[in-house]
Amino acid sequence: MINFRSIKAIYIFEMSRTFRTLIQSLISPILSTVLYFIVFGTAIGNNINFTNEIPYGAFIVPGLVILTISMQSVNNASFGIFFPKFLGTTYEILSAPISYVEIVIGYVGASATKSFCLGLLILITSTFFVDLNIKFPILMLCMLLLSCVSFSLLGFIIGIVSDNFEQINFVPMIIITPLVFLGGSFYTIDVLPDFWQTITLFNPIFYLVSGFRYSFFGTGEVNILISIFSISLFILLCIIIIWRIFKTGYKIKT
């Protein structure tokens, strides 16, 4: 029997943190995105023509959404679980009549919700700068949701294994940002030399961006099914790691 009331308690508690830090949670990422549109979409984008019939400003929208939600999902979920560890309030979660699955649903659910809303806000913001016709809106929403959940799961893992704030920031800054930038967010990989094209194929974000872009324009760099498979595999991997963490009590229980 799932303890919905406990899940709801964690979920609402986490969501209320967003409203306490509205500038940091919403306005700051939206402002960053607007700057990307102005610089890349308008100022530089008019001189770029490798994106076939798609205007460059519209071409970068999926990449920008992925860039923002990946960072925000990881930050939200990692801080969500790291903060109680830092403050010493995890005793309450651990002593509550709630299963590990329910704990994960509460924290990851809240984090994914915040990122999902943010992704939609960025899409709405982008319509002020470019004409956007989303070819497969349902698929786009599904891909957005899957992306939010997958990065939130990753953030949850980072939050548990981190011992300090430096470690919390390490993975998003040193690993995720470069992977997103090098994953075809702002270009197609065929503009890269052969060697770097091959390297890019090992970047999981590449498949995510490609799939997400497919839902917008009906064209991606790899088959949409490969993208869906990749993201599902990533979610599965995160779930296995979290299951193992809770099973062993690693960095949670003494």
Partner 1 sequence: MQTIIEIKNLKKIYKDNKVALDDVNLNIFKGEIIALLGPNGAGKTTLISNICGISSITSGDIKVNGFDVIDNYREARKCIGIVPQELSFEPFEKVINTVNFSRQLFGKKPDEEYIENLLKKLSLWDKKDQIIRSLSGGMKRRVLIAKALSHEPDVLFLDEPTAGVDVELRRDMWNTIKNLQNSGVTIILTTHYIEEAELMANRIAVINNGKILLIDKKDNLIDRMSKKTLIIHTNSKINKIDKALEKFQLRVSKDKKNLEYDYSPNKKKTGITTLLNEIKKTGIELIDVQTKQSNLEQIFVEILKND
Which positions lie near partner 1, rule CB under 8 A? Answer: 3, 5-6, 8-10, 13, 16, 20, 83-84, 87-89, 91-99, 249, 253-254
Q: Which is nearer to partner 1, 86 or 181 (CB)?
A: 86
- Closer CB to partner 1, residue 195 or residue 247? 247
Residue 141 CB: number of other CB atoms within 10 A?
15
CB of 31 to partner 1, least distance (A): 24
Comparing CB distances to partner 1, the nearer of 138 and 253 is 253
33 vs 212: CA distance, rounded Å? 17
What is the chain's Cα-based Rg?
A: 19
Shortest distance, position 151 Cβ to partner 1, whole Å: 24
Grouping H, G, I as helix, E, B as strand and the rest as coil, residue 75 is helix
Q: How far is the CB of 112 from partner 1 (least distance, A)?
A: 20
Nearer to partner 1, 99 or 203 (CB): 99
DSSP class per residue in 130-164: S----S-HHHHHHHHHHHHHHHHHHHHHHHHH--S
Query: What minimum distance in Å lies between the beta carbon of 63 and partner 1?
Result: 35
Q: How far is the CB of 18 from partner 1 (least distance, A)?
A: 13
Which of residues 6 and 75 has its CB atom nearest to partner 1 in the complex? 6
DSSP 251: T
Write the CA distances from 127 to 33, 58, 197, integer angstroms: 12, 9, 31
**d(C-alpha 52, C-alpha 55), whole Å:** 8
